[in-house]
Structure 1
Amino acid sequence: MGPMDTLASQTGAQGISTSLSADTMYQKCLTLARNLWWTWQPDVINLFRELDPIRWRQLDHNPVALLSEITPERLEIRISELSLHSRINQAYRRLKEYLSERPLWARTHAGVLGSKPVAYFSLEYGIHESVPIYSGGLGVLSGDHCKSASDLGVPLVAVGLFYDQGYFKQHLNHEGWQEEEYIDVRVEKLPLELAGDEEGNPIVVQIETRTGVLKAKVWLMRVGRVNVYLLDTDVDGNSPEDRDLTSRLYGGDNRTRIRQELVAGVGGVRALRAVGIKPGVYHLNEGHSAFAVLEVMRERMMDDGLSFHDAFRETAHSTVFTTHTPVPAGHDRFDAGLIEEHLGPLRDALGISHDQLMGLGRVNPNDGGETFCMTVLALKCSYKANAVSALHGRVTRNMWSRLYSWRIEDEVPIGHITNGVHIPSWLAWQMKLLYDRYFSPDWYQRMGEPEVWQGIFRVDPGELWETHLTLKSQLISFVRRRVSRQCRRREEPDEVIEMARSILDPTVLTIGFGRRFATYKRATLLLSDEQRLNRLLNDPHRPVQFIFAGKAHPRDVPGKELIQRIANLRKDPRFAHRIVFIEDYDINVCRHMVQGVDVWLNNPRRPLEASGTSGQKAVLNGALHMSVLDG
């Protein structure tokens, strides 16, 4: 072998080694990207951002989409340029350790669940802005619930629907009117994989109705230790109408709604059965998925030979229900025809009459004129039920007292568990570093214990203020980018775009209002007296500025009118530099706002806010929370 042969051999071996190294790094990055654990790990978020900061922002912080644009070889070059090898290896090792260990909390408090996990049903999940299958607070709560269960080690699986168009993108036109745009989500760019049965075959569940069979495939999304199963009716064999059934969150009419809820509830239980999961507890988050209890009853009758009465009792003893809605009109109701069309075959399997089935969803089972209410079904078929704050508990007991007419109102069996937040998802990393210096060393593992937060009294006020100013500056930079982009999209004059690049003043008291634009939340309450508003915003010694963000439901005209009123204040020279509206409110916008505002505003009409959590997120980051005394 000559010198050239030796050199060629060495070069070839080096090329193979480099290729193997590139593939290994790529697979490690892909493993990190495909488990949403990364969404509450600041160091892993920074890793992905550094790979390509511009595309990272353009892709809504989606690492699966980012990696799909990069070959393993290009990724290896970028990793070498930035010296990221050790950080990627460390992040990968931390994920593996996280998934393999069982936290002390779970060993102490959740051991009774054993191999039978909690099955958590929700119609939406707000895990991260890159997975747009949520619309607002209910979905964000569900996402935080899954992440908290993962950190605590609670054996939990979650069930919902996959919406390939998600919730709408919001744009305001020149008149300030909200317009909706639905964009197809490319599933290959999301951290999803088709769920398989115990033999590894892709699962397709079937739900029989009087008018045919509904089919749904099942996607698996990993959120730390928690698996989320999402049903999708875009399946061969379904009609075009049924293939579109799960395309949009909260879209369509009552028939669309009952079919979505049938897939989520009945289909969700069948999906768990297909993957080999036998839950010990079923947790219904809102009444949307209450049809699940009927399928569980059918399973118990089929598997254990129980009568309907015994299956009902056993199912109720393993079901808990959380209700969020403080007004009667907000609960889903279906007429007898829709119920028979969609639940008829399941009713036959349960061996009960149409009137018996309807009675399960009526306050008065004998009232033939009463529609079928999903919340009534959930309350009747659950062992424990809870509202989401103390005040909401009182409101809910009053609302459903007729269902328990033999009890006085205070003894109606609906308690309350106040909504909370997943702290690592909302706490700015700069604030975490500050807390690390002054709290107990293990505070991050014990953040649910009240005594841990006594450390806040040891924090140096000057350091807290400097940290807050840093976050506020980041928020204002974010707002300027977003507002100037909005102006460019509307093709506004150059001087308007230029003004947007310098809008808001970092030295001025900044008040944030970000949430769904339902009328009861009273977004424009402080704007009703424009003369007084002018004096407040432009006070020469203590000026104020507002940041608003939020979406109205596509059919909520009064909510859209509130948005229009705020948006059009920018045309008034008194307010143009003091009030901004950020379009397309999502988790990313919310995160920036709660981390950077001085004051978080919450002024709903009491007692219609069951349990808002955005104020909790703001307070975590050093802001003041100004609120009415509502849930």
Structure 2
Amino acid sequence: MTNNNIHPYKPAKNFEKKVAYFSMEFGIHQALKIYSGGLGFLAGSHMRSAHELKQNVIGIGMLWKYGYYDQSRNDDQTLRTDFTEKAYHFLEDTGIEVSVKLHDNPNVKVRAYLLKPEIFGSAPIYLLSTDVDGNDFLSRTITNHLYDSNEVTRVSQSIVLGIGGAKVVEALGGADIYHLNEGHGLPAFYYLKDKGVKRNQFAFTTHTPEKAGNEERDGRHLNRCGFFGKMLSDEELEKETVNGGMINYTVSALRMAKKANAVSKLHAVVSNEMWKDYDKTCEIIPITNAQNQNFWQDNQIKKAWEKRNTKAFKKRKGELKQQLFDEVLNQTKKIFDPNVLTFVWARRFAGYKRADLLLHDIERFKRLISNSKYPVQIIWAGKPYPFDYYAIDIFNHLVNYSKTAPNLAVLIGYEMDLSRKLKEGSDVWLNTPRITREASGTSGMTAAMNGSINVSINDGWIPEFQKDGKNCFVLPELDHTMPVWQQDKIDAENLYDILENKVIPMYYERPEEWQKMVFQGIDDVIPKFSSHRMAEQYYKELYK
């Protein structure tokens, strides 16, 4: 990787080591729709900070022809998933073309396109596509959909990202460190190890305590697909498999990496416990996820916070609320009031994140939203996986319930622009996953940067941030081994209590106290949860 033609700068002294960072998704900009959620937002913030800190890093990702999906509505306002072809004229064809063996096809072409640093202010990112002249129809469709629901396609995507990506890095002159963001690009480690790359050059980030998030597939099938970069003998394959012939992507990555990181202190404890029964795995250290301040924090909010100027802060917050409410009006034809306390629940829609927790006790919820002394407004937004019908059902339930209520809204199009509007325009950021299931969760960080107060379960990054009642409000911790319905009941009751007795009265009756809490939240989130800290920590602790 010669720097002069890739990085617009000479790498800073502490960051000279060449790093290739593999990720299935990157959330860099609204216009580049190759991300689905938190993993992408995290990778995007990392690449922005790598650029701002002058780190010798490149990203290796995928150029998804249809992106994740476009979120729109059916005629009754429920969720519709649209797949629209994308063409990005700001990407540069590098002319680098490599080939990978997939299944019975020995020669699937993979082409690399470059997102130059000056386009969106990120480290250089190479995006791979199989939609290349000379590939057969099926091969051309591999890079169509992020997280394709077809298992064989998903395996092919991992091989393209991993082996295709590693070959592109070779064509660029190689790297000192190969860093996998999650296990999707695992074939890179197998291929590179075979090429003589040493274990101390492999780094790995594990992102999820969710069983489903840690891919596990049949070893013999993966071998036939070309997952290992060559055919393994039965003996060789047996050494790699666990749980009766399966390849667990996380376990394999932990066995091949020199060092791995979890994405919060709590997640490191959970991860080390999760994988302790597997031999030869590497140490998992905590490097808590973070987000890029320059990208996510509103500039006028920043100035008001730095000067502790309450008047300027409130004026700007009112403007930002109005911008968000223009979007609400456009989508739902409801007029929201900037003087009214506004809650937002917005993130990837997954069952365990419990978007509908507020509706658990419907009578109590109705009282909450119809209190004329203390009015509230609530906005939900988020993207379910397009084939997760349970999550889509929750989304549609909220749509149907909120239709007739003037102060409830469900928004579609939850991508980077809307995400930013929601964080800037909310007063309260709700975070309600079942405890122990959220590895990090970063949406609350960027909300806090913009003066939105977190009301959250004490999970993920929150234990490292929270001073309950001073910079956020935290629900009492439950025994996570209780039956799910029982957890939901108790958490919902605690959530109503906190909102009714603490949050809402403080906002309306003690505005000075509220403002103090807002500023305290920004103090405690920056710089500790800004991605500069994270990108520096990767070099100091993961790459050294």
Give the TM-score taking structure 1 as reference length.
0.69
Total equivalences in the alignment: 452
Please give the alpha-carbon distance, in whole angstroms, between the structure 1 residues aligned to 2:183 and 2:321: 39
Equivalence for 1:621: 450
Equivalent residue letter for 1:194: D
SS class of match (1:585): coil
Per-residue CA shift, 1:361-399, capped at 9, x if unaligned?
Answer: x34xxx6x3311111111111011111011111111111
Equivalence for 2:183: 287
> In the alignment, is residue 605 of structure 1 matched against residue 454 of structure 2?
no
SS class of match (1:262): helix
The structure-2 alpha-carbon separation of the partners of 1:210 and 1:592, relative to structure 1 and needing over 3 Å to count, comes to closer
Trace 1:413-432 onto structure 2 (pairs within 5 A).
Answer: 413-432=283-302
Please give the alpha-carbon distance, in whole angstroms, between the structure 2 residues aligned to 1:204 and 1:482: 43
Cα distance, 1:258 vs structure 2: 0.7
Q: Which runs of 5+ in 1 are unaligned?
A: 1-95, 196-201, 301-310, 439-457, 484-499
The structure-2 alpha-carbon separation of the partners of 1:262 and 1:100, relative to structure 1 and needing over 3 Å to count, comes to closer
Trace 1:458-537 onto structure 2 (pairs within 5 A).
Answer: 459-483=308-332, 500=333, 502-537=334-369
Equivalence for 1:214: 108
Please give the alpha-carbon distance, in whole angstroms, between the structure 1 residues aligned to 2:122 and 2:195: 27
> In the alignment, is residue 326 of structure 1 matched against residue 198 of structure 2?
no
Equivalence for 2:218: 335
Please give the alpha-carbon distance, in whole angstroms, between the structure 1 residues aligned to 2:245 and 2:167: 30
In terms of Rg, which structure is larger? 1
Cα distance, 1:239 vs structure 2: 1.6
Pick from 120, 123, 140 the counterpart of residue 243 of structure 1.
140
Whether the aligned pair in 1 keeps the contact of 2:321 and 2:425 (CA below 8 Å) is yes
The structure-2 alpha-carbon separation of the partners of 1:344 and 1:581, relative to structure 1 and needing over 3 Å to count, comes to closer
Per-residue CA shift, 1:73-125, capped at 9, x if unaligned?
Answer: xxxxxxxxxxxxxxxxxxxxxxx9x975558xx32x224x2xxx100000011
Equivalence for 1:130: 31
Structure number having the greater helix percentage:
1
Please give the alpha-carbon distance, in whole angstroms, between the structure 1 residues aligned to 2:103 and 2:29: 38
Whether the aligned pair in 2 keeps the contact of 1:261 and 1:291 (CA below 8 Å) is yes
Please give the alpha-carbon distance, in whole angstroms, between the structure 1 residues aligned to 2:182 and 2:452: 30
Please give the alpha-carbon distance, in whole angstroms, between the structure 2 residues aligned to 1:209 and 1:616: 40
SS class of match (1:539): coil
The structure-2 alpha-carbon separation of the partners of 1:168 and 1:192, relative to structure 1 and needing over 3 Å to count, comes to same
Please give the alpha-carbon distance, in whole angstroms, between the structure 1 residues aligned to 2:91 and 2:253: 30
Cα distance, 1:580 vs structure 2: 0.3
- After superposition, the CA RMSD in angstroms is 2.1
SS class of match (1:536): helix
Whether the aligned pair in 1 keeps the contact of 2:189 and 2:256 (CA below 8 Å) is yes
SS class of match (2:278): helix
> In the alignment, is residue 252 of structure 1 matched against residue 149 of structure 2?
yes
Equivalence for 2:503: none
Cα distance, 1:353 vs structure 2: 2.5
Equivalence for 1:595: 424
Please give the alpha-carbon distance, in whole angstroms, between the structure 1 residues aligned to 2:57 and 2:49: 10
Cα distance, 1:565 vs structure 2: 1.1
Equivalence for 1:357: 237
Equivalence for 1:139: 40
The structure-2 alpha-carbon separation of the partners of 1:571 and 1:475, relative to structure 1 and needing over 3 Å to count, comes to closer
Please give the alpha-carbon distance, in whole angstroms, between the structure 2 residues aligned to 1:354 and 1:229: 35
Cα distance, 1:127 vs structure 2: 0.4
Equivalence for 1:403: 278
Pick from 167, 174, 177 the counterpart of residue 78 of structure 2.
177
Equivalence for 1:378: 253
The structure-2 alpha-carbon separation of the partners of 1:529 and 1:176, relative to structure 1 and needing over 3 Å to count, comes to farther
Trace 1:154-165 onto structure 2 (pairs within 5 A).
Answer: 154-165=55-66
Whether the aligned pair in 2 keeps the contact of 1:210 and 1:345 (CA below 8 Å) is no
Per-residue CA shift, 1:247-296, capped at 9, x if unaligned?
Answer: 1111132111110000000000101112x232011110000001101121
Please give the alpha-carbon distance, in whole angstroms, between the structure 1 residues aligned to 2:143 and 2:239: 28
Whether the aligned pair in 2 keeps the contact of 1:347 and 1:354 (CA below 8 Å) is no
Trace 1:112-123 onto structure 2 (pairs within 5 A).
Answer: 113=17, 117-123=18-24
Cα distance, 1:358 vs structure 2: 4.6
The structure-2 alpha-carbon separation of the partners of 1:375 and 1:619, relative to structure 1 and needing over 3 Å to count, comes to same
Trace 1:33-44 onto structure 2 (pairs within 5 A).
Answer: none
Equivalent residue letter for 1:590: S
Equivalence for 1:234: 131
Cα distance, 1:227 vs structure 2: 1.1
Per-residue CA shift, 1:298-339, capped at 9, x if unaligned?
Answer: 322xxxxxxxxxx5xx2x111110000102232112213322
Cα distance, 1:345 vs structure 2: 7.7
Equivalence for 2:304: 434
Whether the aligned pair in 1 keeps the contact of 2:430 and 2:456 (CA below 8 Å) is yes
Whether the aligned pair in 2 keeps the contact of 1:347 and 1:357 (CA below 8 Å) is no
Cα distance, 1:464 vs structure 2: 2.0
Please give the alpha-carbon distance, in whole angstroms, between the structure 2 residues aligned to 1:229 and 1:371: 31
Pick from 545, 563, 567 the counterpart of residue 399 of structure 2.
567
Equivalent residue letter for 2:212: A
Equivalence for 1:586: 415
Please give the alpha-carbon distance, in whole angstroms, between the structure 1 residues aligned to 2:195 and 2:219: 24
Per-residue CA shift, 1:172-196, capped at 9, x if unaligned?
Answer: 32445322100000233xx20111x
Equivalent residue letter for 1:263: V
Per-residue CA shift, 1:156-213, capped at 9, x if unaligned?
Answer: 011011011111111232445322100000233xx20111xxxxxx221111245012
Give the TM-score taking structure 2 as reference length.
0.79
Equivalence for 1:204: 97
Equivalence for 1:346: 229
SS class of match (1:346): coil
Whether the aligned pair in 2 keeps the contact of 1:472 and 1:595 (CA below 8 Å) is yes
Higher relative contact order structure (alpha carbons within 8 Å, sequence separation ≥ 6): 2
Trace 1:307-318 onto structure 2 (pairs within 5 A).
Answer: 314=198, 316-318=199-201
Please give the alpha-carbon distance, in whole angstroms, between the structure 2 residues aligned to 1:461 and 1:345: 58
The structure-2 alpha-carbon separation of the partners of 1:344 and 1:630, relative to structure 1 and needing over 3 Å to count, comes to closer
Q: Which runs of 5+ in 2 are unaligned?
A: 461-544
The structure-2 alpha-carbon separation of the partners of 1:209 and 1:598, relative to structure 1 and needing over 3 Å to count, comes to closer
> In the alignment, is residue 194 of structure 1 matched against residue 93 of structure 2?
yes
The structure-2 alpha-carbon separation of the partners of 1:262 and 1:591, relative to structure 1 and needing over 3 Å to count, comes to same
